[in-house]
Structure 1
Amino acid sequence: MTTQSLTRSGTPWEPEFVTDINQQTCIGCGRCYKVCPRDVFDLVEREIDEDDDMYDDLEDDVVMVMELKDEGDCIGCGSCSRVCPKNCHTHTKASELAA
């Protein structure tokens, strides 16, 4: 299976698929969800850790964060990581996943 392709200008390009979202840094803004051309992400509730200083001013014990709904549907375009203000996404090259 070939995992490398070419851009329109002929430059080699290999897709990098999203393999993880750091829910400790995710702020649930939904930008990745909005730009994803596939159905890869979902917004879910996460309980706040007691020692998580980032949420000291919140009264609720839960926050909304993104999670991978169907990582197998990712096409490796990287749009999600380009719009994420917190750099929460981890991507893996297609060739590394096949190994």
Structure 2
Amino acid sequence: MDQFLSIRPYQDHEVEDVLESLINNFDVLKALIGLQYPKYFTKIPLFKFYVKQRLKYKVRNIKTINDYQDIFKDLMDKVVDESISNFSVNGISKL
């Protein structure tokens, strides 16, 4: 069973620690900033600090997996609405 430990779903009691870890991960911050504010990452001093503080504020009420999923769904809906103008599926009959 230990072989799957690293890919198992998180449990509610782990959510706060996992979010804290993600907020403190430079690569995660860089990716988020790069997606939202690509030109600010290198040009504005302390922008990473600002984003980190903002993320901490936004996730402060997330205590369970369900809390996270509710917020993430809203974010993904916004991304889809703002970035996808056309969606098509081909080859499904060959699956």
Shorter chain as normaliser: what TM range? under 0.3
Structure of greater relative contact order (alpha carbons < 8 Å, 6+ residues apart): 1
TM-score normalized by structure 2?
Answer: 0.27
Kindly name which structure, 1 or 2, has the bigger radius of gyration based on alpha carbons. Answer: 2
Q: Give the number of the structure whose residues are more often helix, by fraction.
A: 2
TM-score normalized by structure 1?
Answer: 0.26
